[in-house]
Protein backbone atom coordinates (compact mmCIF):
# COMPACT_ATOMS: atom_id res chain seq x y z
CA UNK A 1 0.00 0.00 0.00
CA UNK A 2 1.34 3.42 -0.88
CA UNK A 3 2.19 5.42 2.20
CA UNK A 4 1.47 9.09 2.76
CA UNK A 5 4.29 10.67 4.73
CA UNK A 6 4.51 14.33 5.65
CA UNK A 7 7.61 16.11 6.84
CA UNK A 8 6.91 19.38 8.64
CA UNK A 9 9.62 21.86 9.58
CA UNK A 10 9.12 25.27 11.17
CA UNK A 11 10.52 28.28 9.32
CA UNK A 12 13.52 30.06 10.95
CA UNK A 13 12.16 28.60 14.16
CA UNK A 14 13.86 30.34 17.11
CA UNK A 15 14.07 33.59 15.18
CA UNK A 16 10.41 33.32 14.18
CA UNK A 17 9.33 32.94 17.81
CA UNK A 18 11.34 36.05 18.73
CA UNK A 19 9.89 38.07 15.85
CA UNK A 20 6.36 36.96 16.71
CA UNK A 21 6.79 38.05 20.32
CA UNK A 22 8.66 41.25 19.45
CA UNK A 23 6.99 42.53 16.30
CA UNK A 24 9.48 45.40 15.84
CA UNK A 25 12.04 42.69 14.94
CA UNK A 26 9.95 41.53 11.98
CA UNK A 27 12.06 41.43 8.83
CA UNK A 28 15.25 42.41 10.69
CA UNK A 29 18.45 40.35 10.71
CA UNK A 30 17.85 38.48 13.97
CA UNK A 31 20.57 36.14 15.21
CA UNK A 32 19.88 33.76 18.07
CA UNK A 33 22.80 32.22 19.90
CA UNK A 34 25.63 32.97 22.28
CA UNK A 35 26.54 36.49 23.37
CA UNK A 36 28.71 37.98 20.59
CA UNK A 37 30.49 40.26 23.12
CA UNK A 38 31.31 42.92 20.53
CA UNK A 39 32.96 40.32 18.33
CA UNK A 40 34.91 38.64 21.15
CA UNK A 41 32.27 36.10 22.15
CA UNK A 42 32.71 32.36 22.03
CA UNK A 43 29.97 29.93 21.12
CA UNK A 44 27.83 29.62 18.04
CA UNK A 45 24.76 30.78 16.16
CA UNK A 46 21.68 28.66 16.87
CA UNK A 47 19.70 30.15 14.05
CA UNK A 48 19.38 33.30 12.01
CA UNK A 49 16.34 34.97 10.47
CA UNK A 50 16.13 34.90 6.70
CA UNK A 51 17.15 38.59 6.64
CA UNK A 52 20.33 37.65 8.55
CA UNK A 53 21.01 34.68 6.26
CA UNK A 54 21.32 37.15 3.38
CA UNK A 55 24.54 38.29 5.09
CA UNK A 56 25.84 34.73 5.16
CA UNK A 57 24.94 34.04 8.80
CA UNK A 58 24.17 30.34 9.42
CA UNK A 59 23.33 27.91 12.22
CA UNK A 60 26.43 26.45 13.81
CA UNK A 61 28.68 29.33 12.75
CA UNK A 62 30.93 30.90 15.40
CA UNK A 63 29.04 33.88 16.84
CA UNK A 64 32.12 36.10 16.24
CA UNK A 65 31.92 35.38 12.55
CA UNK A 66 28.22 36.27 12.55
CA UNK A 67 29.14 39.55 14.24
CA UNK A 68 31.65 40.30 11.50
CA UNK A 69 29.27 39.36 8.69
CA UNK A 70 26.32 41.23 10.13
CA UNK A 71 27.29 43.81 12.78
CA UNK A 72 23.89 45.49 12.48
CA UNK A 73 22.16 42.20 13.42
CA UNK A 74 19.93 41.93 16.47
CA UNK A 75 21.66 39.32 18.63
CA UNK A 76 19.45 37.50 21.12
CA UNK A 77 20.07 34.71 23.62
CA UNK A 78 18.36 31.34 23.30
CA UNK A 79 15.08 31.35 25.25
CA UNK A 80 14.42 27.64 25.26
CA UNK A 81 11.32 27.76 27.40
CA UNK A 82 9.40 29.72 24.79
CA UNK A 83 10.63 27.62 21.91
CA UNK A 84 9.75 24.43 23.78
CA UNK A 85 6.27 25.78 24.33
CA UNK A 86 5.78 26.44 20.62
CA UNK A 87 7.19 22.99 19.94
CA UNK A 88 4.67 21.42 22.29
CA UNK A 89 1.88 23.29 20.55
CA UNK A 90 2.87 22.12 17.08
CA UNK A 91 3.14 18.56 18.31
CA UNK A 92 -0.36 18.81 19.73
CA UNK A 93 -1.54 19.81 16.25
CA UNK A 94 0.30 16.84 14.69
CA UNK A 95 -1.28 14.46 17.18
CA UNK A 96 -4.73 15.52 16.02
CA UNK A 97 -4.00 13.96 12.66
CA UNK A 98 -2.09 10.82 13.59
CA UNK A 99 -0.39 9.16 16.54
CA UNK A 100 2.39 8.18 14.13
CA UNK A 101 4.54 11.24 14.70
CA UNK A 102 8.33 10.99 14.74
CA UNK A 103 9.82 14.14 16.22
CA UNK A 104 13.28 14.86 14.84
CA UNK A 105 13.87 18.02 16.82
CA UNK A 106 11.87 20.78 18.48
CA UNK A 107 10.67 22.12 15.16
CA UNK A 108 10.55 19.16 12.83
CA UNK A 109 8.67 15.88 12.52
CA UNK A 110 7.61 13.11 10.21
CA UNK A 111 3.93 12.14 10.20
CA UNK A 112 2.58 8.94 8.72
CA UNK A 113 -0.82 10.01 7.44
CA UNK A 114 -1.66 6.81 5.57
CA UNK A 115 -4.37 5.67 7.94
CA UNK A 116 -5.71 9.19 8.53
CA UNK A 117 -7.16 9.66 5.04
CA UNK A 118 -10.54 8.25 5.98
CA UNK A 119 -10.92 10.84 8.70
CA UNK A 120 -9.28 13.92 7.26
CA UNK A 121 -9.26 13.63 3.47
CA UNK A 122 -6.44 13.44 0.97
CA UNK A 123 -2.77 13.91 1.84
CA UNK A 124 -2.84 17.37 0.32
CA UNK A 125 -5.91 18.35 2.31
CA UNK A 126 -4.29 17.06 5.51
CA UNK A 127 -1.05 18.90 4.84
CA UNK A 128 -3.00 22.11 4.32
CA UNK A 129 -4.97 21.54 7.51
CA UNK A 130 -1.80 20.82 9.46
CA UNK A 131 -0.16 24.00 8.20
CA UNK A 132 -3.25 25.98 9.12
CA UNK A 133 -3.47 24.29 12.53
CA UNK A 134 0.17 25.05 13.28
CA UNK A 135 -0.35 28.69 12.37
CA UNK A 136 -3.54 28.98 14.41
CA UNK A 137 -1.86 27.42 17.44
CA UNK A 138 1.39 29.39 17.27
CA UNK A 139 1.13 32.25 14.74
CA UNK A 140 4.22 30.71 13.17
CA UNK A 141 4.63 29.31 9.69
CA UNK A 142 6.03 25.96 8.73
CA UNK A 143 6.96 24.23 5.50
CA UNK A 144 5.73 20.78 4.61
CA UNK A 145 6.63 18.07 2.15
CA UNK A 146 4.29 15.24 1.24
CA UNK A 147 5.43 12.04 -0.43
CA UNK A 148 5.41 8.28 -0.30
CA UNK A 149 8.55 8.04 1.84
CA UNK A 150 10.60 9.92 4.40
CA UNK A 151 13.51 10.94 2.20
CA UNK A 152 11.24 12.44 -0.44
CA UNK A 153 9.04 14.18 2.13
CA UNK A 154 12.00 15.76 3.91
CA UNK A 155 13.62 16.84 0.69
CA UNK A 156 10.32 18.32 -0.49
CA UNK A 157 9.66 20.32 2.70
CA UNK A 158 12.95 22.16 2.25
CA UNK A 159 12.35 23.30 -1.32
CA UNK A 160 9.89 26.16 -0.90
CA UNK A 161 10.66 27.68 2.47
CA UNK A 162 9.11 29.67 4.02
CA UNK A 163 5.46 28.64 4.30
CA UNK A 164 5.93 26.07 1.55
CA UNK A 165 4.02 22.94 0.65
CA UNK A 166 5.54 20.60 -1.89
CA UNK A 167 3.82 17.39 -2.94
CA UNK A 168 5.76 14.64 -4.68
CA UNK A 169 3.26 12.61 -6.70
CA UNK A 170 3.25 8.87 -6.02
CA UNK A 171 5.67 7.18 -8.40
CA UNK A 172 7.20 10.54 -9.35
CA UNK A 173 10.03 10.52 -6.81
CA UNK A 174 12.89 9.68 -9.12
CA UNK A 175 11.90 12.40 -11.56
CA UNK A 176 11.45 14.88 -8.69
CA UNK A 177 14.94 14.17 -7.34
CA UNK A 178 16.84 14.13 -10.63
CA UNK A 179 17.46 17.88 -11.05
CA UNK A 180 18.33 18.53 -7.39
CA UNK A 181 21.90 19.27 -6.28
CA UNK A 182 23.81 16.20 -5.15
CA UNK A 183 24.34 17.78 -1.71
CA UNK A 184 20.63 17.18 -0.96
CA UNK A 185 21.08 13.41 -1.00
CA UNK A 186 21.06 12.02 2.55
CA UNK A 187 24.54 10.98 3.57
CA UNK A 188 26.33 13.21 1.09
CA UNK A 189 28.39 15.57 3.21
CA UNK A 190 31.53 17.65 3.32
CA UNK A 191 33.73 14.69 2.42
CA UNK A 192 31.76 12.88 -0.22
CA UNK A 193 30.37 15.87 -2.09
CA UNK A 194 33.72 16.99 -3.60
CA UNK A 195 34.49 13.36 -4.54
CA UNK A 196 31.17 13.04 -6.36
CA UNK A 197 31.49 16.41 -8.07
CA UNK A 198 34.95 15.40 -9.30
CA UNK A 199 33.29 12.47 -11.00
CA UNK A 200 30.95 14.90 -12.76
CA UNK A 201 28.07 14.01 -10.45
CA UNK A 202 26.42 17.36 -9.72
CA UNK A 203 22.80 16.37 -9.44
CA UNK A 204 20.95 13.42 -7.96
CA UNK A 205 20.00 12.47 -11.54
CA UNK A 206 23.71 12.31 -12.44
CA UNK A 207 24.24 9.83 -9.63
CA UNK A 208 21.20 7.81 -10.65
CA UNK A 209 22.72 7.44 -14.12
CA UNK A 210 26.27 6.67 -12.91
CA UNK A 211 27.29 2.98 -13.10
CA UNK A 212 27.19 1.32 -9.67
CA UNK A 213 30.57 -0.47 -10.03
CA UNK A 214 32.41 2.69 -10.93
CA UNK A 215 30.75 4.58 -8.09
CA UNK A 216 31.63 1.82 -5.61
CA UNK A 217 35.32 2.09 -6.54
CA UNK A 218 35.33 5.72 -5.44
CA UNK A 219 33.12 5.78 -2.38
CA UNK A 220 32.86 2.14 -1.31
CA UNK A 221 30.26 -0.50 -2.13
CA UNK A 222 27.96 0.21 0.79
CA UNK A 223 27.69 3.98 0.28
CA UNK A 224 27.35 3.49 -3.48
CA UNK A 225 24.41 1.14 -2.99
CA UNK A 226 22.72 3.39 -0.44
CA UNK A 227 23.11 6.50 -2.57
CA UNK A 228 21.86 4.74 -5.69
CA UNK A 229 18.76 3.50 -3.86
CA UNK A 230 17.98 6.98 -2.54
CA UNK A 231 18.50 8.47 -6.01
CA UNK A 232 15.84 6.02 -7.25
CA UNK A 233 13.62 7.40 -4.45
CA UNK A 234 13.68 4.09 -2.59
CA UNK A 235 13.31 4.52 1.16
CA UNK A 236 11.35 1.98 3.15
CA UNK A 237 12.11 3.31 6.63
CA UNK A 238 8.98 3.57 8.75
CA UNK A 239 7.94 6.65 10.68
CA UNK A 240 8.90 5.71 14.22
CA UNK A 241 5.82 7.13 15.85
CA UNK A 242 4.94 6.81 19.47
CA UNK A 243 1.67 5.00 19.72
CA UNK A 244 0.23 7.33 22.33
CA UNK A 245 0.37 11.05 22.94
CA UNK A 246 2.80 12.13 25.64
CA UNK A 247 0.39 14.62 27.10
CA UNK A 248 -3.18 15.80 26.87
CA UNK A 249 -3.77 19.51 27.21
CA UNK A 250 -6.15 22.29 26.55
CA UNK A 251 -5.80 26.04 26.53
CA UNK A 252 -8.01 29.08 26.49
CA UNK A 253 -7.03 32.48 25.15
CA UNK A 254 -9.28 35.18 26.54
CA UNK A 255 -10.99 37.51 24.16
CA UNK A 256 -9.68 40.31 26.37
CA UNK A 257 -6.82 39.88 28.81
CA UNK A 258 -8.31 39.55 32.27
CA UNK A 259 -7.69 39.63 35.99
CA UNK A 260 -11.26 38.85 36.89
CA UNK A 261 -10.77 36.07 39.44
CA UNK A 262 -14.17 34.34 39.00
CA UNK A 263 -13.65 34.20 35.24
CA UNK A 264 -10.10 32.87 35.59
CA UNK A 265 -11.15 30.25 38.12
CA UNK A 266 -14.16 29.01 36.19
CA UNK A 267 -12.05 28.82 33.05
CA UNK A 268 -9.46 26.83 34.93
CA UNK A 269 -12.13 24.44 36.14
CA UNK A 270 -13.49 24.01 32.65
CA UNK A 271 -10.01 23.27 31.34
CA UNK A 272 -9.48 20.66 34.06
CA UNK A 273 -12.81 19.02 33.34
CA UNK A 274 -12.05 18.90 29.66
CA UNK A 275 -8.57 17.45 30.10
CA UNK A 276 -9.95 14.87 32.51
CA UNK A 277 -12.68 13.97 30.05
CA UNK A 278 -10.14 13.43 27.32
CA UNK A 279 -7.98 11.35 29.65
CA UNK A 280 -10.93 9.08 30.33
CA UNK A 281 -11.84 8.88 26.68
CA UNK A 282 -8.33 7.61 26.01
CA UNK A 283 -8.46 5.32 29.05
CA UNK A 284 -5.56 7.17 30.65
CA UNK A 285 -4.76 8.73 33.95
CA UNK A 286 -2.19 11.42 34.57
CA UNK A 287 0.77 11.37 36.93
CA UNK A 288 1.53 15.05 36.43
CA UNK A 289 -0.43 18.21 35.76
CA UNK A 290 0.94 21.46 34.35
CA UNK A 291 -0.58 24.90 34.56
CA UNK A 292 0.37 27.45 31.94
CA UNK A 293 -0.27 31.15 32.46
CA UNK A 294 0.47 33.69 29.77
CA UNK A 295 0.33 37.29 30.84
CA UNK A 296 -0.33 40.35 28.71
CA UNK A 297 2.72 40.76 26.49
CA UNK A 298 3.15 37.01 25.91
CA UNK A 299 5.39 36.22 28.87
CA UNK A 300 4.50 32.66 29.76
CA UNK A 301 5.01 30.68 32.95
CA UNK A 302 4.37 27.07 33.78
CA UNK A 303 4.14 25.17 37.05
CA UNK A 304 3.85 21.44 37.53
CA UNK A 305 2.67 19.12 40.25
CA UNK A 306 2.82 15.38 40.65
CA UNK A 307 -0.47 13.53 41.05
CA UNK A 308 -0.36 10.70 43.54
CA UNK A 309 -2.21 8.54 42.87
CA UNK A 310 -2.67 9.19 39.17
CA UNK A 311 -6.04 10.58 38.21
CA UNK A 312 -8.47 11.24 35.36
CA UNK A 313 -10.79 13.29 37.52
CA UNK A 314 -11.25 17.02 36.90
CA UNK A 315 -11.42 18.17 40.54
CA UNK A 316 -8.14 16.34 41.31
CA UNK A 317 -6.42 18.32 38.57
CA UNK A 318 -8.07 21.52 39.75
CA UNK A 319 -6.98 20.94 43.34
CA UNK A 320 -3.37 21.17 42.12
CA UNK A 321 -3.57 23.99 39.61
CA UNK A 322 -5.95 26.33 41.41
CA UNK A 323 -3.44 27.28 44.17
CA UNK A 324 -0.80 27.72 41.46
CA UNK A 325 -3.03 30.20 39.65
CA UNK A 326 -3.74 32.07 42.88
CA UNK A 327 -0.01 32.28 43.57
CA UNK A 328 0.64 33.67 40.08
CA UNK A 329 -2.05 36.29 40.54
CA UNK A 330 -0.63 37.32 43.89
CA UNK A 331 2.91 37.67 42.63
CA UNK A 332 2.13 39.32 39.30
CA UNK A 333 -0.17 42.29 38.74
CA UNK A 334 -0.55 41.87 35.00
CA UNK A 335 -3.65 40.61 33.26
CA UNK A 336 -3.86 37.05 32.01
CA UNK A 337 -4.00 36.38 28.30
CA UNK A 338 -4.10 32.60 28.29
CA UNK A 339 -4.60 29.71 30.68
CA UNK A 340 -3.67 26.14 29.86
CA UNK A 341 -3.84 22.83 31.68
CA UNK A 342 -2.08 19.72 30.51
CA UNK A 343 -1.81 16.23 31.89
CA UNK A 344 1.31 14.14 31.38
CA UNK A 345 3.08 11.06 32.75
CA UNK A 346 0.13 9.15 31.30
CA UNK A 347 -0.66 5.59 32.34
CA UNK A 348 -3.51 3.25 31.54
CA UNK A 349 -6.58 4.11 33.62
CA UNK A 350 -7.33 1.69 36.50
CA UNK A 351 -3.69 0.99 37.13
CA UNK A 352 -3.81 2.41 40.64
CA UNK A 353 -7.35 1.86 41.78
CA UNK A 354 -6.28 -0.70 44.36
CA UNK A 355 -3.77 1.68 45.84
CA UNK A 356 -6.26 4.33 46.81
CA UNK A 357 -7.16 4.38 50.46
CA UNK A 358 -10.59 5.85 49.98
CA UNK A 359 -11.68 3.39 47.37
CA UNK A 360 -15.42 3.79 47.91
CA UNK A 361 -15.49 7.49 47.17
CA UNK A 362 -13.00 7.01 44.34
CA UNK A 363 -15.40 4.54 42.74
CA UNK A 364 -18.34 6.88 43.15
CA UNK A 365 -16.43 9.68 41.50
CA UNK A 366 -15.50 7.40 38.64
CA UNK A 367 -19.15 6.45 38.19
CA UNK A 368 -20.17 10.12 38.16
CA UNK A 369 -17.49 10.77 35.54
CA UNK A 370 -18.71 7.88 33.44
CA UNK A 371 -22.29 9.20 33.58
CA UNK A 372 -21.16 12.69 32.66
CA UNK A 373 -19.12 11.40 29.74
CA UNK A 374 -22.00 9.26 28.52
CA UNK A 375 -24.52 12.11 28.54
CA UNK A 376 -22.08 14.44 26.82
CA UNK A 377 -21.27 11.84 24.22
CA UNK A 378 -24.98 11.34 23.52
CA UNK A 379 -26.17 14.95 23.54
CA UNK A 380 -23.05 16.90 22.73
CA UNK A 381 -20.12 18.30 24.70
CA UNK A 382 -21.10 20.63 27.48
CA UNK A 383 -24.64 19.29 27.99
CA UNK A 384 -23.75 18.30 31.52
CA UNK A 385 -21.18 20.11 33.59
CA UNK A 386 -20.21 20.10 37.23
CA UNK A 387 -22.49 22.60 38.98
CA UNK A 388 -19.71 25.09 39.58
CA UNK A 389 -19.15 25.45 35.86
CA UNK A 390 -22.65 26.59 35.07
CA UNK A 391 -21.28 29.78 36.50
CA UNK A 392 -22.42 33.33 37.02
CA UNK A 393 -24.35 34.92 34.19
CA UNK A 394 -22.89 37.85 32.38
CA UNK A 395 -19.38 36.43 32.21
CA UNK A 396 -18.49 35.50 28.74
CA UNK A 397 -15.28 34.03 27.57
CA UNK A 398 -14.30 32.69 24.27
CA UNK A 399 -13.43 29.03 24.18
CA UNK A 400 -10.89 29.24 21.40
CA UNK A 401 -9.29 26.14 22.73
CA UNK A 402 -6.36 24.44 21.16
CA UNK A 403 -7.04 20.77 20.87
P1 LIG B 1 16.32 24.22 11.54
O2 LIG B 1 14.97 23.71 11.17
O3 LIG B 1 17.51 23.58 10.93
O4 LIG B 1 16.43 25.77 11.19
P5 LIG B 1 15.34 26.92 11.27
O6 LIG B 1 14.01 26.41 11.66
O7 LIG B 1 15.88 28.01 12.14
O8 LIG B 1 15.31 27.46 9.79
P9 LIG B 1 14.63 26.78 8.50
O10 LIG B 1 13.55 27.73 8.11
O11 LIG B 1 15.73 26.74 7.50
O12 LIG B 1 14.14 25.44 8.91
O13 LIG B 1 16.51 24.16 13.09
C14 LIG B 1 15.45 24.43 13.99
C15 LIG B 1 15.96 25.17 15.20
O16 LIG B 1 16.95 24.38 15.86
C17 LIG B 1 16.60 26.49 14.88
O18 LIG B 1 15.67 27.56 14.84
C19 LIG B 1 17.61 26.63 15.98
C20 LIG B 1 17.97 25.21 16.38
N21 LIG B 1 19.29 24.84 15.84
C22 LIG B 1 20.40 25.00 16.66
O23 LIG B 1 20.29 25.41 17.81
N24 LIG B 1 21.63 24.68 16.15
C25 LIG B 1 21.81 24.23 14.86
O26 LIG B 1 22.94 23.99 14.45
C27 LIG B 1 20.64 24.08 14.04
C28 LIG B 1 20.79 23.58 12.61
C29 LIG B 1 19.42 24.39 14.57
MG1 LIG C 1 13.16 24.68 10.75
pLDDT at position 383 over 70: no
Count the Cβ atoms, other than its own, within 10 Å of residue 281.
Answer: 12
Predicted confidence (pLDDT) per residue in 304-324, tens digit: 999 988 999 999 999 999 999
Averaged pLDDT for residues 198-220 = 97
| 175: three-class secondary structure by DSSP | helix
CB 340 within 8 A of CB 292: yes
Atom of ligand 1 nearest to the CA of 60: 26
Is 34 close to ligand 1, i.e. is its CB under 6 Å away? no
Which of 9, 34, 47 to probe ligand 1 with, by most ligand atoms within 8 A of CB?
47
Phi, psi of 80 (to 5 degrees): -60, -30
Is 141 close to ligand 1, i.e. is its CB under 6 Å away? no
- Options 102, 108, 251, 285, the catalytic residue: 108
Averaged pLDDT for residues 136-153 = 98
Is 63 close to ligand 1, i.e. is its CB under 6 Å away? no
pLDDT at position 243 over 50: no
Angle CA(182)–CA(188)–CA(193) in degrees, nearest 5? 65
Predicted confidence (pLDDT) per residue in 41-84, tens digit: 888 899 999 999 999 999 989 999 999 999 999 999 999 889 98
SS3 string of 188-207? CCCCHHHHHHHCCCCEHHHH
Edge-to-edge strand list for the sheet holding 108-112: 101-105, 108-112, 5-10, 142-147, 165-167
Phi, psi of 308 (to 5 degrees): -130, 115
Q: What is the pLDDT of residue 367?
A: 61
pLDDT interval class at 364 (50, 70, 90): low
Averaged pLDDT for residues 235-244 = 78
Q: What is the pLDDT of residue 242?
A: 62
Amino acid sequence: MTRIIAHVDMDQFYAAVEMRDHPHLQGKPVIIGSDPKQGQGRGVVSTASYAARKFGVRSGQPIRQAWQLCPQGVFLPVDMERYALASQQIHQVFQRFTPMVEALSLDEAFLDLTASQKLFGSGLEMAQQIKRGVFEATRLTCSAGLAENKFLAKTASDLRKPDGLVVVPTGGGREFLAPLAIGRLWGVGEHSEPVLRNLGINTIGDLDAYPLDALARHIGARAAQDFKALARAEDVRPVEGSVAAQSIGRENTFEEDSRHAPLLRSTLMELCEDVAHRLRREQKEAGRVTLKVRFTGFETHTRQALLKPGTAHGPDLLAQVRPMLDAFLQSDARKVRLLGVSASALKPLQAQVQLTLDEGSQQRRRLADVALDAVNARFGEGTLKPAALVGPKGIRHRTGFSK
